[in-house]
A and B are shown apart, each in its own frame.
Chain A
Amino acid sequence: GAGVSQTPSNKVTEKGKYVELRCDPISGHTALYWYRQSLGQGPEFLIYFQGTGAADDSGLPNDRFFAVRPEGSVSTLKIQRTERGDSAVYLCASSWTSGGMDTQYFGPGTRLTVL
């Protein structure tokens, strides 16, 4: 079956611009996670959804970052007034439940470059 997909695969933007990153999880997965990987680091948790609601957004670095999952499937990560420090690979993952014992299946990521 289809895995997790993310679009776009690459995004180059200018400092101060707004960007949206999209994630299509595996069909039927109720939990959806966003991570960010900066150069030389492991993925860093940002937010996770159980269904439509954000169950834990403690990893969002500041109020320029926001994510939605209005119908409990596709999710969009939104970044306002982008800064050079936002440049990273943004990963999305989904799992059957949010207990954490389930395998999280990752998408290929979106590489964001802020000039």
Chain B
Amino acid sequence: ILNVEQSPQSLHVQEGDSTNFTCSFPSSNFYALHWYRWETAKSPEALFVMTLNGDEKKKGRISATLNTKEGYSYLYIKGSQPEDSATYLCASLVRRKLIFGQGTELSVKP
């Protein structure tokens, strides 16, 4: 059974704080890791697709790193803004389907 775990489950920060959260996944037979952002009442929005060990990707104030040997990925948000409030999901690709973690719910207070 493949388990993708995310921590923390929820996070409350002040506007301007930088934050990071973790996604861990089985490192054997790794193919790709996807990150999504999901705001309430909207569609999940794709952030990154990561495939190579040591990969670093950046989109505005959000960046992510990947360690496939030890089976983890970090997502960083620099200078959090209230509009960053959302659930952040990671998913590992297994036999052409995505296995999701339970998500990290981020709340940014003005």
Contact = CB atoms under 8 A, between A and B. Distances in A.
A103 B46 contact: yes
Contact of A56 (B4, B44, B96, B101): B96
Nearest to B49: A103
Interface residues of B, number: 26
Contacts of A48: 96-97
12 contacts: A4-B43, A35-B100, A40-B102, A41-B102, A43-B89, A43-B98, A98-B96, A100-B96, A106-B43, A106-B45, A107-B43, A108-B42
Interface in B58-110: 89, 91, 93, 95-103
A55 interface: yes
Contact of A42 (B43, B46, B91, B97): B91
A104 interface: yes
Interface string A23-47: 0000000000101000011111100
- Of all A-B residue pairs in the complex, the 3 with the closest CB atoms, nearest first, are A42-B100, A100-B93, A106-B44
A89 to B, nearest CB: 10
The interface centre, meaning the residue of B45, B98, B102 with most chain A CB atoms within 10 A of its CB, is B98
Interface string B1-45: 000101000000000000000000000000110101000011111
